[in-house]
A and B are shown apart, each in its own frame.
Chain A
Amino acid sequence: MTTATSTSTAARAAAIVSQYFSAPIASLEATATQLGTELAAYGNLGPLSSQQLDALVEPHALATVSLPDVHIYGAGFIAAVGLLTDERNHLSWWQGDDPKRLLLAAQSVNKEHIDYSELEWFRVPMETGRGHVAGPYVDYLCSDEYTITIAAPVHIDGTFVGVAGLDLLIDSVERQLLPKLAELGDKVTLVNSVGRVVISTDARHATGDAVRAGALAELARTACEGVALEIIAE
């Protein structure tokens, strides 16, 4: 294969990936802005309880998980510590094919006491003030699956109050995005910003592997516009 072919394949693959993620990201950013406005209005009425927050978040979350074309597993809002009067940490989160509000399941480790401010999907939007794509990673807090979380910070008058987020299972990304990439005909691998394989049309590159050790490490990467993922074409 010539370099020119892999360059154009990479560009086409990157466009497919950008297109796939564009609707969920747009929906999430709209949610983050609207929630900020709605929470600010609530703030004027006094302290906020977790129940009131859930009522605000639910319509946004349900709209996000029912977006067409992209299978979104879960969505919602994670409050910053101290936002609510009745709970220190609160996940206002809906997930599943028949979306239900997540009650932290008790069969595992102290999930309800996990400090999520250190977790990438919360920490990065909090620190940078910008949206972030985290993963793929094993999401042991919400989905319990291999997941990509896209998160955007929510602000009230410039103050960070939490993160609006959505989860895509890698299983769904593989089912929906891989056939489109396979149509390009060449070997194409999607990696995240730390060089981890998300999906690949070459079955030898396993999802979750790091490209640093393998044959892909030396190849050029093409950024996917609007989402922090990259394409490596062989």
Chain B
Amino acid sequence: MHSTDSADAPRKSAVVADDTARSRDASRPGRLQGALFQSIGDAGRAELVERRLASAITGGHLRAGERLPSENDLARSFGVAPTTVRESLLALRSQGLVVTRRGRNGGSFVADSADPVAHARTALAATSRVALRDLGAHYAAITAACVRLAARRAVPSEVQQVRSRLSRLDESDLEQWRSTLDDAQIELVALSQSARLTREQMRLQAEMSPMLRLIDVDETSRRAQPVLLASVVDAVEAGDDHEAVAATERMVDAVINALIDLQSQSR
């Protein structure tokens, strides 16, 4: 798994608490304030851009061979200077994630050797069982909150759109199959009408999706997933928020158990 915020974690305290100067405030809770003034870390902006792009590549969201936007477009989009983008691309090149071609059709491309499934296999092997269960708990909590709202708020025609997306799942292309299932999941949770919850779900989906590809190759596990999601969709359409939550928990349990099984087989 590719954590994006480890460099933002506090490394040292920039503000040394002075107990005498703050004695008047001693009765106030100081915990939040302490966190506020902690160092934001000295990771450079180039490193942040590099990590963002690296996790998109290893997560399969930028695919092998895909052209990256131009340095200027990336700079504008990330809100950094073009030299910062150049520096991060240099680092990505040295990691073998990006190649740069010169000439008229030149530019930066995701390296052909960047294989998200291989990265996912490494990431799964390196993840503890407790971390996987916790990821499942987080995912289930967010999804459950979304479908509970969706069951109260969605109209039948919207739910029908999710169902029609599910009906287009095509097992002849597993990459496309995963992408369609991810889209259906996001489309369903967006019916909560909550932008915050949907964004959180997308973040989690992006984190899980590469690992889910590892279990998609197993026919039993693959066939089970759309059926489990369809039962959540049914409950949302019926306006049954309790059943939508219960069905979500069954779905996430099945997926996490499959990941744990796969992990124990390969150990």
B155 touches A196 (CB 8 A): yes
Fill in one digit per residue for B126-167: 1 if any A CB lies within 8 Å of its CB, else 0: 000000000000000000000001001111011001001100
With A194-B157, A208-B194 already in contact, the answer to whether A107 and B69 are too (CB < 8 A) is no
Q: Could you tell me the dominant secondary structure of chain B's interface residues? A: helix
User: Which one of B10-18, B197-205, B221-229, B248-256 is at the interface?
Assistant: B197-205
Q: Which partner residue on chain B sits nearest A208 by CB separation? A: B193
With A106-B56, A107-B206, A194-B157 already in contact, the answer to whether A138 and B179 are too (CB < 8 A) is no
With A194-B155, A209-B153, A210-B152 already in contact, the answer to whether A137 and B190 are too (CB < 8 A) is yes
In the bound complex, CA of A105 to CA of B77 (Å): 9
B195 touches A101 (CB 8 A): no
Interface membership of A42, Cβ < 8 A = no
Residues of chain B at interface, number, CB under 8 A = 40
A138 touches B61 (CB 8 A): no
Compute the total of residue contacts between A and B using a CB distance below 8 Å. 93
A109 touches B55 (CB 8 A): no
Q: Which partner residue on chain A sits nearest B56 by CB separation? A: A106
In the bound complex, CA of A101 to CA of B198 (Å): 23
- How close is B37's CB to chain A, nearest CB, in angstroms? 27
Interface membership of B117, Cβ < 8 A = no
Chain A residues with CB under 8 Å of B155's CB are: 194-196, 210, 212
Chain A residues with CB under 8 Å of B180's CB are: 115
Chain B residues with CB under 8 Å of A210's CB are: 152-155
A196 touches B153 (CB 8 A): yes
Interface membership of A213, Cβ < 8 A = yes
User: Which one of A18-26, A139-147, A148-156, A179-187 is at the interface?
Assistant: A139-147
Contact of B195 among A103, A112, A146 (CB under 8 A): A146
Q: Which partner residue on chain A sits nearest B57 by CB separation? A: A106
Contact of B199 among A136, A144, A195 (CB under 8 A): A144
Q: Which partner residue on chain B sits nearest A111 by CB separation? A: B61
Which residues A82-124 have CB closer than 8 A to chain B? 100-101, 103, 105-115, 118, 120
Interface membership of B87, Cβ < 8 A = no
A118 touches B202 (CB 8 A): no
A109 touches B77 (CB 8 A): no
A138 touches B165 (CB 8 A): no
Contact of B205 among A101, A105, A109, A212 (CB under 8 A): A109
A109 touches B61 (CB 8 A): yes
- How close is B182's CB to chain A, nearest CB, in angstroms? 5
- How close is B201's CB to chain A, nearest CB, in angstroms? 9
Chain B residues with CB under 8 Å of A103's CB are: 69, 73-74, 77
A137 touches B193 (CB 8 A): yes
Fill in one digit per residue for B204-243: 1 if any A CB lies within 8 Å of its CB, else 0: 0110010000000000000000000000000000000000
B183 touches A115 (CB 8 A): yes
Chain A residues with CB under 8 Å of B76's CB are: 100-101
In the bound complex, CA of A87 to CA of B245 (Å): 39
- How close is A133's CB to chain B, nearest CB, in angstroms? 15
Chain B residues with CB under 8 Å of A146's CB are: 193-195
Interface membership of B86, Cβ < 8 A = no
In the bound complex, CA of A144 to CA of B186 (Å): 12
Fill in one digit per residue for B46-70: 1 if any A CB lies within 8 Å of its CB, else 0: 0000001101100011100000010
With A106-B56, A213-B152 already in contact, the answer to whether A138 and B4 are too (CB < 8 A) is no
- How close is A119's CB to chain B, nearest CB, in angstroms? 8
In the bound complex, CA of A144 to CA of B199 (Å): 7
Interface membership of B192, Cβ < 8 A = yes
In the bound complex, CA of A112 to CA of B182 (Å): 13
Fill in one digit per residue for B175-193: 1 if any A CB lies within 8 Å of its CB, else 0: 0000110110010001011
Chain A residues with CB under 8 Å of B53's CB are: 106
Q: Which partner residue on chain A sits nearest B199 by CB separation? A: A144
Chain B residues with CB under 8 Å of A120's CB are: 161
**B-side interface residues toward A, CB under 8 Å?**
4, 52-53, 55-56, 60-62, 69, 73-74, 76-77, 149, 152-155, 157-158, 161, 164-165, 179-180, 182-183, 186, 190, 192-195, 198-199, 202-203, 205-206, 209
Taking A107-B203, A196-B155, A213-B152 as given, write out 10 further A-B residue pairs in contact, using a Cβ cutoff of 8 Å, ordered by the A residue number: A110-B61, A113-B179, A115-B183, A118-B164, A136-B193, A140-B202, A146-B193, A146-B194, A207-B193, A210-B153
**A-side interface residues toward B, CB under 8 Å?**
100-101, 103, 105-115, 118, 120, 136-138, 140, 144-146, 194-196, 207-210, 212-213
Which 5 interchain pairs have the tightest Cβ spacing?
A106-B56, A208-B193, A138-B190, A108-B202, A103-B77
